[in-house]
A and B are shown apart, each in its own frame.
Chain A
């Protein structure tokens, strides 16, 4: 790493993917290949969701907005073999694409898509954009029930 402390200038960077599994509870995920959690930790930059516990109603959970800085970004690779949902923490009232997505509503993640998620701020919440495996940007996903 560069010598300029908190603002390094480097040639490249890799992120170890966090391995996840969509499920119907909230369990932390990590970078172990055997990880089966569904809650994304605030430090994760690359998340690979590799299975669902039951069906397309299973979900993964974003980190609390308060735990990440504005502008924070990560990607989610949908590799579960089935669609799944993306939520904000239960009862948080936090939004995805300007809609409360803490469980009453959810953002549909289509299998094989790549989702880029960015924090705007604590009020506006997250903006998420899905990209199909063909490289096309999917029409904005509106979280729903």
Chain B
């Protein structure tokens, strides 16, 4: 083996066997909805009943600080994540041992990291590769809804004019930024320009505005004018306010999920869902 130091091996590759589990209502450790402490990649392949089913993270004392678990929603349904019953272990700083739960939408990829002796921090990408707005564990039961709720985050940038270039409003800003909002509306984009993107919340906006034409949804970064934007990645915009923003607040709005609806947008943005209606953009 080309490994000279067993405690810090240098490898060409490393594959992790995925561990398949099913979301359920079991609260007894060891059953099929509990993640064994040694697993690092977990695929949730089904739910037993509905979106209120859950999986359970390993006891936090059983893993080292910094331990990471990747959970992939592949159940065809949303589901919840809990910490062991009565453990008072938190996810994103909220007790999630049953009173609250962390929601995972189908097809999302979530990363959990043991941040302290009593809590995990978790964040995710949706199926389009966009950063999911911070998930706030809550006690809201799932209630199907077809609403397409368009989320509206602070910054709207609406490019009025209709240019033809399918470009991607790469947004003005120069500074590096994270916001990876991926818009999916089909049609071609409108002027690349605009996106005055005033927002400061950049990176946290859910933005995934998955609803075509969902219009108003202007996630923080950039040009989401309904018609606009192109393919997913486009407006990956870098919009970013100079204020390197340190305030977690900005985009965090703990107000989570306005509509736990099944629709993609479980939008957590403060001004969330200002009604699906929203006016269609001037274009297209």
Contact = CB atoms under 8 A, between A and B. Distances in A.
| A and B are interacting partners | yes
Nearest to A10: B16
Given A17-B66, A46-B65, A140-B175, A135 B123 contact: yes
A17 B116 CA distance: 12
A43 B203 contact: no
A136 B115 CA distance: 14
Contacts of B39: 11-12
B8 A43 contact: yes
Interface residues of A, number: 41
A138 B91 CA distance: 17
A116 to B, nearest CB: 9
A45 B7 CA distance: 12
B107 interface: no
B134 A135 contact: yes
A136 B251 contact: yes
Contacts of B8: 43
Contacts of A13: 14, 16, 40
Interface class of chain A by DSSP:
loop
Interface stretch (B163-171, B222-230, B241-249): B241-249
A134 interface: yes
A110 B115 CA distance: 14
Contacts of B251: 136
Interface range on chain B (Cβ under 8 Å from partner): 35 or more
A43 B5 CA distance: 10
Nearest to A13: B40
B178 A75 contact: no
Given A14-B64, A131-B123, A142 B1 contact: no
A133 B176 contact: no
B17 A11 contact: yes
Contact of B14 (A8, A17, A112, A114): A8
Interface string B226-265: 0000000000001011111110101110100000000000
Interface string B25-49: 0000000000000111000000000
A7 B12 CA distance: 5
A139 B202 contact: yes
A139 B177 contact: yes
B110 to A, nearest CB: 9
B52 to A, nearest CB: 21
Contact of A12 (B3, B7, B16, B91): B16
A91 interface: no
B218 interface: no
Given A15-B64, A75-B68, A79-B116, A141 B14 contact: no
B151 interface: no
List of 4 A-B pairs having minimum Cβ-Cβ separation, nearest first: A46-B66, A136-B134, A7-B13, A43-B8
28 contacts: A6-B11, A10-B15, A11-B19, A11-B39, A12-B38, A14-B38, A14-B67, A16-B7, A17-B65, A43-B8, A46-B67, A98-B176, A114-B115, A114-B121, A132-B121, A134-B134, A134-B248, A135-B92, A135-B121, A136-B252, A138-B203, A139-B202, A139-B241, A140-B177, A140-B178, A141-B246, A142-B176, A144-B244
